[in-house]
């Protein structure tokens, strides 16, 4: 048993100031991307195979296939930001509240 006192830790603060609990940050795992890469490799995947897939997507988009067009736009321009709240008929994004009140105050009258 050691005579040294263990450092006192405050609840909710398990690390010393300046010390990160996750020094490498969030892992950059992309499971779908990894699965696609492995599938390409298994099919004799090289850059030519990937180009063929990209050309198939472009040709579908040229034919007017809306999901293919959307996929290309998302890949090239980035996905469109989604609204966080409201926007439905039952839950509008902005709710207008109109209320007019008249309050008459008599400073001489005191309700004790």
Give me the pLDDT at residue 24, please: 76
**Cα(15)–Cα(77) distance, rounded to whole angstroms?**
40
Buried-exposed string 6-16: b where 16+ CB fall within 10 A, e elsewhere: eeeeeeeeeee
* pLDDT tens sequence for the chain (112 residues): 555 666 666 666 677 777 777 777 777 777 777 887 788 788 776 778 788 888 899 999 999 999 999 988 888 888 888 766 666 667 666 667 788 888 888 777 666 5
């Amino acid at each position: 048993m050691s005579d040294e006192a263990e450092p006192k830790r405050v609840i909710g603060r398990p690390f010393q100031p300046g010390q990160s609990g996750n020094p490498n940050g969030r892992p950059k795992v992309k499971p779908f991307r990894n699965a696609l890469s492995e599938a390409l490799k298994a099919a004799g995947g090289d850059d030519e195979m990937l180009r063929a897939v990209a050309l198939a997507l472009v040709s579908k988009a040229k034919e007017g296939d809306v999901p293919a067009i959307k996929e290309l736009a998302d890949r090239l321009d980035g996905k469109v930001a989604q609204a966080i709240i409201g926007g439905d008929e039952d839950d509008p994004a902005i709710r207008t509240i109109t209320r007019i009140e008249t309050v008459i105050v008599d400073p001489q009258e005191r309700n004790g």
